[in-house]
Amino acid sequence: MIVFQSVAGTRRKPLVAAVVLAALLGTGSVAAYDWKPLPGEPPSPAHNPTTPAKVELGRKLFFDPRYSATGTVSCNTCHNVMEGGDDGRPTSMGVHGKTGPRNSPTVWNSAFASVQFWDGRAKNLEEQAKGPVLADVEMGVKELDIALGIVASIPGYRELFKQAFPEDENPVTVDNAARAVAAFERTLITPNSPYDRHVKGEEDAMSEQQIRGMRTFNEVGCTSCHGGPAFNGPQPELPEGSGFYQKFPLFTDNDYVEKYQLADDTGRHQATGRDADKHMYKVPTLRNITLTAPYFHNGTVNSLREAVVIMGETQLNKQLSEQQIDGILAFLEALTGEFPAMELPRLPSRSGESVIRDNVPPVTGGAH
């Protein structure tokens, strides 16, 4: 794995590099590994403290498609919080039916990731919230100020911004919109899974097969990358903007790499700008993994069982037995947490006049 650090005003650069093959091929036990539950409360960063008013504004912006180029695509279009926090497609569909090159990551528990996007190019949720608005294959708006102008033209939104940012003389800004969306997204956590209850001492919260699968998950080397409370490595403890990455695929001498086009991405790594970092991806969370098919950065694998087999071959250089696969799948089911109650918000309107525009010229660039 490689950890990259995001430095304000500079290109992200390698911070720490470690060879982990020995760890990947090593052994362990359930007792020896430090199994951690997901925190019951999300982080609230000093640069954007969570408040109810911010969350409510962010909720409405998250569900509102009207500031996209066609008035048809919202954050929830690709990150459906009424289900697994993704969209169930290999790659997401944005304005004018365009599709991008990457599978939509789940927004659930994204608060516990130290960077955002598959390549980690956004240092936090605030920065990430701006990206899809401009991406031609997502919301397709040429400039953030155009999207903000649509929002600002709605009286109800102007009042919500005032409530969320009462100390700002001009609260309706792009940065504040991003802060509000990020504040809402940080509330999207799913603690209290059977796994969480088990490691807190409720022995019967997991079945015997799930406990055996938990042991197998560690013994074969999965925890070398997918450890920690969010099963995304040390990201919940890393400084904001420092990502945790792994090359994928790591071992390419198998049929799966070609079958599922796992190494087809080309071009420099967007987080570091280096050709040498191609195929380095942020280690994703495994929380609620049974709800987020299809799998991997390109969404080419529709079955979780197949995904487990592929991870064994491409990341561990192992052919897992059917018993090992069954156990790991049972354990992954235990990572589905409790979802907060979600209601579609009532969006503010502009009386007697539509705010939707479809005259924004197409732009290029951007992906999950």
**Burial 139-155, CB ≥16 within 10 A → b, else e:** bbbeebeebbebbbebe
The CA angle 280-13-79, to the nearest 5 degrees, is 50
According to the annotation, is 311 in a ligand binding site? yes
**Burial 293-323, CB ≥16 within 10 A → b, else e:** bbbbbbbbbeebebbbbbbbbbbbebebeee
According to the annotation, is 47 in a ligand binding site? no
According to the annotation, is 368 in a ligand binding site? no
Of residues 83, 126, 127, 138, which has the active-site annotation? 138
Tokens of 21: 């093959």
According to the annotation, is 1 in a ligand binding site? no
Positive or negative torsion for Cα 67, 71, 77, 78: negative
Q: Within 13 A of 204's CA, how many CA atoms are on the CB side?
A: 0
Positive or negative torsion for Cα 257, 259, 264, 270: negative
According to the annotation, is 78 in a ligand binding site? yes
Q: How far is CA 21 from CA 26, 197, 302, 321, in A?
A: 8, 31, 28, 20
Whether residue 256 contacts residue 262, with contact meaning beta carbons closer than 8 Å, is answered with yes
According to the annotation, is 198 in a ligand binding site? no
Whether residue 222 contacts residue 35, with contact meaning beta carbons closer than 8 Å, is answered with no
Number of CB atoms found within 10 A of residue 75's CB = 24
According to the annotation, is 225 in a ligand binding site? yes
Q: Is 313 part of the annotated catalytic residue set?
A: no
H-state helical runs in the chain: 21-24, 52-63, 75-78, 125-134, 144-152, 155-164, 174-185, 194-199, 208-219, 256-259, 304-315, 322-333
Task: Give the whole-angstrom CA distance, residue 348 versus residue 152.
Answer: 11
DSSP structural state of residue 4: E
Annotated binding site: 75, 78-79, 222, 225-226, 311
Residues marked active site are found at 138
The binding site for heme c consists of 75, 78-79, 222, 225-226, 311
